[in-house]
Amino acid sequence: MKKSIVYFCLFVVSFNLSCAQDAINQVDTPENIPFSAELLIDELPIPWGMTFLPDGGMLITEKSGQLIHFKDGNKTEISNIPEVYTRGQGGFLDVVAHPDYENNGWIYFTYSSSEGDEKGGNTAVIRAKLKDNALTDNQLLYKASPNTTKGQHFGSRIVFDNQGHLYFSVGDRGNRDENPQDVTRDGGKIYRINDDGSIPQDNPFVDKEGAKTAIFSYGHRNPQGLAKHPDTGAIWNNEHGPRGGDEINVVKKGANFGWPVITYGINYSGTPITDKTELDGMEQPIHYWVPSIAPSGMAFVTSDKYEGYKGSLLVGSLAFQYLERLVLDGNKVVKREKLMGDLGRVRDVRQGPDGLIYVAVEGKGIYKLIPKS
């Protein structure tokens, strides 16, 4: 009887929340889309991340463990990449060039690594330089621990802020009961380090005994999107919920984003995780999706190339296989649009130095969005 009452209460709460958010839970398919999608790089099974180089080239990570250099229509595989522990959602993950790449040549990567004493793997961050189609000067900056043979929730995106700090995400590694809420443990966190791997002295947990001092925020599930807001400089993240409850958050120093104590999602089996969607001391998302779209890479549109798109946030959907445009009013989502429907699982989206949008689609490759005149 008590269990039935709990389920009923959860239904009522969910129903009321859904009714209150009807306007933003509906995704529109616009009639007039200001671009056409052109396949720029083909035959890429799972292009996980991409970054642009000053010479006009692009680096693309393949989840299975390849690094592709694309330039002038040619694909070249880069050698001497780190040894990748490929299991489940783990593999060769994100890539980003240093903001001052032209002067220092550093490129940053996240990947699943088996380094350590335990069996399995966990998320690692390295930096390296590119020379003669090979990585050189490889430096390990961070390795989450302990390793586990679980195949889920490695994260992991990386982004620089305006002060030159490197942010990266690590999912809860399938251990929601221990990792996300404990700052002495890796997993379910967003981290902030200096570009050489050292710890900023103003990180929130540098003086907490036993804490992982690279942690910047905690209580995350599986963050697979990170982007810097073009006006405020704040770091935004998106993360996978379970069944429902995917989120967009504005990352804050020392903040607890609640997983799994609060969530708008439920277990994949349909049973509740918790009856709480908010608690004092825990942050609320600025947006959540019900049902889950399985968000991946995301990017703010800052160029004027696409009519009406400047200031929007683009997010890839793995589950529903489209690119979503979120229209923002400050930190509030006021409208959702479905773009590139049924094209495939959108893994990443970036705005290039030319102001154009590039979209990585599993089983297809990299699309370039050509503005309509």
Q: Report domain 47-288's class.
A: mainly beta
pLDDT over threshold 70, residue 16: no
From the candidates 98, 153, 240, 287, which is the catalytic residue? 153
pLDDT for 17 equals 43
Residue 114 pLDDT exceeds 50? yes
Per the prediction, the chain carries an average pLDDT of 93
Is 153 part of the annotated catalytic residue set? yes
Q: Which of 18-27, 269-278, 305-314 is predicted least confidently?
A: 18-27
* Backbone phi, psi, residue 157, to 5°: -110, 160
Strand order in the sheet with 235-239: 223-228, 235-239, 246-250, 287-289
In the block, tokens 């903040």 appear at 255
13 phi/psi in degrees, rounded to 5: -60, -50
pTM (2 d.p.)? 0.93
Mean pLDDT of 244-258: 98
Q: Sorting pLDDT into bands at 50, 70 and 90, what band is 23?
A: low
pLDDT at 9 over 90: no
User: Domain map of the chain by residue range?
Assistant: 47-288
Q: Is the pLDDT of residue 22 over 90?
A: no
pLDDT at 10 over 60: no
pLDDT digits (tens, 9 = 90+) for 117-169: 899 999 999 999 999 999 999 999 999 999 999 999 999 999 999 999 999 99
User: Rounded to an integer, what distance in angstroms lies between the CA atom of residue 222 and that of residue 174?
Assistant: 9
Kindly tell me if the per-residue pLDDT of 5 is higher than 60.
no
Residue 24 confidence (pLDDT):
66
Q: Which residue is associated with the tokens 């929730």?
A: 153
pLDDT of residue 123: 98
